[in-house]
Amino acid sequence: MIIVMQPHASAEQIAAVVSRVEGGGYRVHLSQGEERTIIGVIGDDRPIDRGQFEALDGVEKTVPILKPFKLASRDMHPAETLVPLDGLKVGGPKLAIIAGPCSVESRSQILETAAAVKEAGATALRGGAFKPRTSPYSFQGLGEEGLQLLAEARNLTGLPIVTEAMSEDQVKLVARYAAVIQIGARNMQNYALLNTVGQAGRPVLLKRGMMSTIEELLMSAEYVMAQGNGRVILCERGIRTFEKYTRNTTDINAVPVLKQLTHLPVVVDPSHSTGKWEYVIAVAKAAVAAGADGLIVEVHPHPTEALSDGGQSLKPEKFAQLVREVRRVAEAVDRTC
Amino acid sequence: MIIVMQPHASAEQIAAVVSRVEGGGYRVHLSQGEERTIIGVIGDDRPIDRGQFEALDGVEKTVPILKPFKLASRDMHPAETLVPLDGLKVGGPKLAIIAGPCSVESRSQILETAAAVKEAGATALRGGAFKPRTSPYSFQGLGEEGLQLLAEARNLTGLPIVTEAMSEDQVKLVARYAAVIQIGARNMQNYALLNTVGQAGRPVLLKRGMMSTIEELLMSAEYVMAQGNGRVILCERGIRTFEKYTRNTTDINAVPVLKQLTHLPVVVDPSHSTGKWEYVIAVAKAAVAAGADGLIVEVHPHPTEALSDGGQSLKPEKFAQLVREVRRVAEAVDRTC
Amino acid sequence: MIIVMQPHASAEQIAAVVSRVEGGGYRVHLSQGEERTIIGVIGDDRPIDRGQFEALDGVEKTVPILKPFKLASRDMHPAETLVPLDGLKVGGPKLAIIAGPCSVESRSQILETAAAVKEAGATALRGGAFKPRTSPYSFQGLGEEGLQLLAEARNLTGLPIVTEAMSEDQVKLVARYAAVIQIGARNMQNYALLNTVGQAGRPVLLKRGMMSTIEELLMSAEYVMAQGNGRVILCERGIRTFEKYTRNTTDINAVPVLKQLTHLPVVVDPSHSTGKWEYVIAVAKAAVAAGADGLIVEVHPHPTEALSDGGQSLKPEKFAQLVREVRRVAEAVDRTC
Amino acid sequence: MIIVMQPHASAEQIAAVVSRVEGGGYRVHLSQGEERTIIGVIGDDRPIDRGQFEALDGVEKTVPILKPFKLASRDMHPAETLVPLDGLKVGGPKLAIIAGPCSVESRSQILETAAAVKEAGATALRGGAFKPRTSPYSFQGLGEEGLQLLAEARNLTGLPIVTEAMSEDQVKLVARYAAVIQIGARNMQNYALLNTVGQAGRPVLLKRGMMSTIEELLMSAEYVMAQGNGRVILCERGIRTFEKYTRNTTDINAVPVLKQLTHLPVVVDPSHSTGKWEYVIAVAKAAVAAGADGLIVEVHPHPTEALSDGGQSLKPEKFAQLVREVRRVAEAVDRTC
């Protein structure tokens, strides 16, 4: 951490800050510029609360130097982490293609979708049994029945299940069915849930909050990892901006940034990140070209009947086209799918 | 809901949409413009999933007409809801001034703060026993011990307690101590928690997520109210924007907008919404001038020792100044404090 | 400026950076932390291009320390700058209340408005003769005829004119009529225009771009001031965020932030910053409570006939109510109007 | 346009709105819902000012139905517009690769860069002679001398020139040298400049403002086209969001959205849209995979000496790598470069 003093900070104020820093067990590195004194804090551990120092008289601001994440950082762990998803290793040369409906709605719907996405080339099945919905009056998911239907679809197709847990109570239940437990964007900073899922013995797919920074996403991964669960897949699913033509803005920059900052695999959800099915294929190809390790895509056999997210769901034949087109791009960046 | 067809939508496509709408039990109102056909959907209940219709061939977009919240809406309930906070009625002419430290850190800290804010004119005591922190390595709060210390401070000063529950498990515990249960910004869309707190028999202070729209805030209030708990206080605590000089951007517009849309009381948190103590008093006065029903302010006897949010905490004497200055503004808008 | 090296930067890379810094005529302050080496650059002048240093091998990032604005900075000029607006001194105890229509539309419209706002207590008349419109098909203003009508209104009422110049060509013309030349939000970073208006011999009202940071606003003021024109009034007029209920988000925090960073006066435009007339009075009061030196408000005698911004314009009687209510708040913060 | 009345709007209010609409020469389509009356306005021309109607008593809001752009709309002009850039047709199967330094700094710098990017496969040379800089103290470009050096580089390499005009005065001068005149992000809504460049007889590369919507970008293109110049290339160069790891957020969604809405070609600037050279290649490949018609990339022979944008400039060998990698992705989407 660096502490920048105000232009006219007095010698007493500077001395007080220095003494405060040293009192905390850190070494001080003082730098007297022409207009400002700058105090470097050496030997600092990450969880310094910078606010304490900002509250000292004469301090203009503090600047963090170290990245606040450790377990998730590539600095500490240069090699890629490969997260198992059934046979596939997410983060390796073969892309993870996770596909399925937003919500599990009925037996026929999920079985039909599972068969279709398997046929088209998917490597895992997604589908929500517990659904976080903005409105309390909207369909909230089938609950455990939905999980059982997912299991039936898995047994039929061999596709492992990726599905969401929304609360600590649900984690144990979901872990009985899911190969990977999904934490949704709205729960990215639900720390109680992150702690619970960190102990659940299952890989986690952690979606970036729609207005969370890349650093906050990594800090939330850090919560899961600090519980001993290092198998975290990060998911860019679009952030909220002023642009209204699409539901969210796909932060495509986040793909190379995350690949640089962390050893964890990164997938992209072009369905939520655009919100309109017409744009999903283009953004899926962009994600793979940018270096994503996989995709998570909403597919519904009859989007006009979907109880949620119909407007952004692909029909199975469109999904098959997505896989064909993505495969060509994947090969152009030395990946397969 | 209105459905806007694409410019060259065919008669068959239009007929298919009409039949779909009528099949859902709605009446259709067809409007043939020069460039577009527009289909009004009449008799619609709120939870229509618009995505289904957006997925129909020939549909360009759908436009919601009704507001999606009901219980929280002033249309349905024109009179102000007054939420009891001990003797005070939040939403009435007297402002609620809720003050205290970010976290409860020690017995002396909370007792000293409580006495000071009481003396200065606060009407309730805030302080976190369970703290949502971005980093798993930061101080996470004292837990139940913190609640007990809050109770001691309440017994000493008479100030009712406003404190946060972060998970369903904590709700029952917190309800034993708190006059009002706070739901933090990061949990505004933690629907499991909202449902739980809706059944806890305590008023709720619901903070707007830093990434949430006003409409989403009202939908989250709707979750609580749908469980039978109509005593919800809404809290504007700043939203995330591109501006970097302050930690968040106080959405002051939200105050008159909320007062128009809903009958629930609205308070403002100028500590989080600015992130720097120097700006807290100015924004507190602005909030009251704009029509807020109260303030929630961070106060710490020794900000430079604070385990969280030191940089945005007021010292007790600054808080006393805040109350004095706010009181004058309150009088200028026919309120008291 | 501070240069933060990557964790595993080599001694050669560090030496190369040091030599590059010294070669630029700066002194180096080296700080060897446990994980990072940090290089302080001392004696730096503001216009260092940090990108050069970020391009050096082994550099992780650079951090600016000095504020990039000088003439606009309160550090250099602690006393308030008072900008004359006819008799009034903007920045002094009496608030500037600048009111009038979005566009000058006709002789009767502007004369009627001018008389009404004068009567209600305005201190200056606003009104656009040149209008920046998103669509080339919208009304673009009356041009010089509009300026002449403004002059007639000024002669009738005594109110000085605040009006916009959109291009270098228009500056000279506008300067013949206006007491203050307005630079609109869309032109805040039109540097050719800023340079021209810096030489025009008239005070400038500089609106913050809807996408501009506070620092960028001050840098644009710096352009005007660097041409020798120190009479700049800054205007917060709302920034663009994800919130859709209002046209923009009033950055009320910007008021105390600007009052701290700069000696220039600050006014707020609650008409554009909300976009709906129903919210204008509440936000006007908030602005004054937060410390603004004035307001600029859209008033139209017949908003339903307005050729632009009808939805956010106050009728004269509502404006009179605004002045009455603002006056009470002004007194509560020791100002008048 | 659709006018939504307030829930309890009176029959008189509705009648007044209807009469107002009909008075404007439009037909009315009245739809009486259970909670709201909705008034469709038929035969509306684009430049209706919706504000007039929002100001009528009893009106809750207005909703636009037609897109406000005409000349730029694909509805009116389904076939791709191909914009000539020397021999290349931008918008056709072969990608435009526009490369060069941020600023022209010296004869050797621009000649060296031009030769290198030509060798690597660029199809045009970029480089600023007039530079919009946030600070008045930063390097502002070489002016006409810079244009002459660009011409020398063109003569040497055969690469056509793409360079920016910042003001109306500069347009004529720039048009003498440039194959394509660039309008920078900060000037996207400088309407005087758009009108001027619309008459300059040169294709225009129009950069999206960093906080402008896709619709606003198209409206600015409409300004140029309304002057008779239909040869406009649109450029996505990143938008401003809350994310701080990158300078801007590449709005990759904008590529398929624009390809759907307009017939104009779309290029992407991965240098500005990321702000760090490490991420440029990944985002360039993403842009092409998403369907972009070209790229505009900053290349500098010695980024550590660059007078602007050093941190986001590629060295020539990195640019050669970019072209090689992009070529493979281009082939995977049936394009060439």
The CATH number that domain A2-63 falls under is 3.30.70.1140
CB D28 within 8 A of CB D41: yes
> What DSSP element (H or E) covers C25?
none
Helices (H), chain A: 11-23, 50-54, 107-120, 144-157, 168-177, 191-197, 214-226, 254-261, 270-274, 277-290, 316-332
What is the pLDDT at residue A188?
97
pLDDT in tens, D101-132: 999 999 999 999 999 999 999 999 999 999 99
User: How many B×C Cβ pairs under 8 Å?
Assistant: 135
Between the alpha carbon of residue C331 and those of residues B330, C93, C328, D103, the distances in Å are: 12, 10, 5, 53
Residue that the structure tokens 């009435």 belong to: B92
Neighboring chain B residues of A311 at a CB cutoff of 8 Å: 50-52, 54-55
What is the pLDDT at residue C45?
59
Residue C306 clears pLDDT 70, i.e. is over it: yes
Chains that touch D (3 or more CB pairs under 8 A): A, B, C
Residue D258 clears pLDDT 60, i.e. is over it: yes
Distance from CA of B128 to the nearest CA of D (A): 27
Q: Mean pLDDT, to the nearest integer, of C14-38?
A: 87
Query: Where are chain D's structural domains?
Result: 2-63, 83-332
pLDDT in tens, B253-286: 999 999 999 999 999 999 999 999 999 999 999 9
Neighboring chain A residues of B51 at a CB cutoff of 8 Å: 303, 306, 308-313
Measured between CA atoms, the residue of chain B closest to residue A198 is: B136
Chains that touch B (3 or more CB pairs under 8 A): A, C, D
pLDDT in tens, D176-190: 999 999 999 999 999
Residue D45 clears pLDDT 70, i.e. is over it: no
Between D47, D312, D313, which is nearest C135 by CB? D47
Between B31, B63, B65, which is nearest D29 by CB? B31
What is the pLDDT at residue A44?
64
Chains that touch A (3 or more CB pairs under 8 A): B, C, D
Neighboring chain D residues of B43 at a CB cutoff of 8 Å: 33-34
Neighboring chain B residues of D34 at a CB cutoff of 8 Å: 42-43
User: Considering the entire predicted model, what is its pTM?
Assistant: 0.95
Between C68, C137, C313, which is nearest D135 by CB? C68
Neighboring chain B residues of A20 at a CB cutoff of 8 Å: 304
Residue C46 clears pLDDT 60, i.e. is over it: no
What is the pLDDT at residue B313?
95
Distance from CA of B239 to the nearest CA of A (A): 10
Q: Output DSSP code: residue A81.
A: P
Parts of chain A with a pLDDT under 50: none
Mutate to test the interface with D, among A67, A239, A242, A253 (most CBs of D within 10 A): A253
pLDDT in tens, B48-69: 778 888 889 999 988 888 888 9
Q: Which CATH number applies to C83-332: 3.40.50.1100, 3.50.50.60, 3.20.20.70, 3.30.56.10?
A: 3.20.20.70
Between CA D311 and CA A77 the distance in angstroms is: 26
Neighboring chain C residues of A40 at a CB cutoff of 8 Å: 31, 33, 38, 40
Parts of chain B with a pLDDT under 70: 44-47
Do the Cβ atoms of D252 and A278 come within 8 Å? no
What is the pLDDT at residue A207?
98
Measured between CA atoms, the residue of chain D closest to residue B61 is: D65
Arithmetic mean of pLDDT over chain C: 94
Residue D46 clears pLDDT 70, i.e. is over it: no
What SS3 class is residue A222? helix
What is the pLDDT at residue B44?
65
What is the DSSP code string of A21-79? Answer: HHHTT-EEEEEE-SS-EEEEEES--TT--HHHHHTSTTEEEEE--S-S-STTBTTT--S
Percent of chain C with pLDDT over 70: 99
> What DSSP element (H or E) covers D303?
none
Between CA A221 and CA A167 the distance in angstroms is: 17
pLDDT in tens, C149-197: 999 999 999 999 999 999 999 999 999 999 999 999 999 999 999 999 9
Q: Mean pLDDT, to the nearest integer, of C109-136?
A: 96
Q: Output DSSP code: residue B128.
A: B
Does the predicted interface ipTM exceed a cut of 0.90? yes
Do the Cβ atoms of A65 and C38 come within 8 Å? yes
What is the pLDDT at residue A86?
92
Do the Cβ atoms of D309 and C169 come within 8 Å? no
Residue D273's pLDDT band (boundaries 50, 70, 90)? very high
Percent of chain B with pLDDT over 70: 99
Angle between helices C254-261 and B277-290 (to 10 degrees): 140
CB C305 within 8 A of CB C108: no
C-alpha triplet A176, A181, A185: angle, nearest 5°: 145
What is the pLDDT at residue D274?
98
What is the DSSP code string of D181-220? Answer: EEE-GGGTT-HHHHHHHTTSSS-EEEEPPTT--HHHHHHH
pLDDT in tens, A40-68: 888 765 567 788 888 899 999 888 888 88
Residue C47 clears pLDDT 70, i.e. is over it: no
Mutate to test the interface with C, among B253, B255, B261, B271 (most CBs of C within 10 A): B253
What is the pLDDT at residue B47?
62
Beta strand ranges found along chain D (DSSP E): 2-5, 27-32, 37-42, 59-63, 83-85, 88-90, 96-100, 124-126, 161-164, 180-183, 204-207, 232-236, 266-268, 294-298
What is the pLDDT at residue B215?
97
Residue D66 clears pLDDT 70, i.e. is over it: yes
What is the pLDDT at residue B45?
59
Do the Cβ atoms of C239 and B239 come within 8 Å? no
Between the alpha carbon of residue B52 and those of residues A106, A136, B56, the distances in Å are: 16, 19, 7
